[in-house]
Amino acid sequence: MKIFIDTASVAELNQAVALGVADGVTTNPTLLARESGSAEQIYRDLCSAIDGPVCAEAVSADAKSIIQEGKKLAQISNQIVVKIPVSKEGLLAVKQLESEGIRTNVTLVFSPMQALMAAKAGASFVCPFVGRLDDTSQPGMELIEQILAIYNNYDYETEVIVASIRNPLHVRDAALMGAHAATLPLKVVEQLMRHPLTDIGIEKFLQDWGKVAGR
């Protein structure tokens, strides 16, 4: 499973790259707002920090403007994937940009039918948000199961990046379901490596080693 890092922070991305876990990056306007500097400079810095896709979100509303914005973003680097919120205008833009060789990631997906429409439009990636669904008492991972079943039924090549991940269980279930990718905040990457029994085990081994080393 590919792991994307859900961040606009180059410092965070560098940590994930050093661990060898980062295959790409997803950003959004909220993540950019936490950093300083222009969006363009942030995208350039992220592209330099990793050899992989960097998703940059278009914020225009109509298809023509999204296409213009997407083309401008794609000029930054061929690593840029244009992230486009799902809508009729958004999917018109997806179809056009993909036909010109610019990869797109359809985001803010909350239903299997939105994911089907994104695949029909030719999106390279789709980002269903599981955590935000959980927040409304709707099981987010059921959406992933349904999208993967539909894509498998018809051999769509659109890759599912499980997004809005809040904890290690989301990652475990995404991997068990065979999702192509998950995008994780650095905090969750760190949680994936930890287990309290490992900490207790290390502590005990160190105590016992103290008895051995003193001989």
CA 160 to CA 140: how far, in whole Å?
14
Q: How far is the CB of 200 from ligand G3P (least distance, A)?
A: 31
Q: Which stretch binds ligand G3P (CB under 6 A): 117-125, 128-136, 172-180, 203-211?
A: 128-136
Site map (CB under 6 A) of ligand G3P, residues 180-199, x = contact: ---x----------------
Counting contacts by CB under 6 A, is residue 129 touching ligand G3P? yes
Q: Which stretch binds ligand G3P (CB under 6 A): 16-24, 89-97, 124-132, 172-180?
A: 124-132
Please list every residue from 148 through 167 that binds ligand G3P, using CB under 6 A: 163-164
Residues designated as active site: 83
Question: For residue 207, what are its two tokens?
Answer: 């105590």
Residues interacting with ligand G3P, by CB under 6 A?
6, 26, 28, 129, 131-132, 163-164, 183
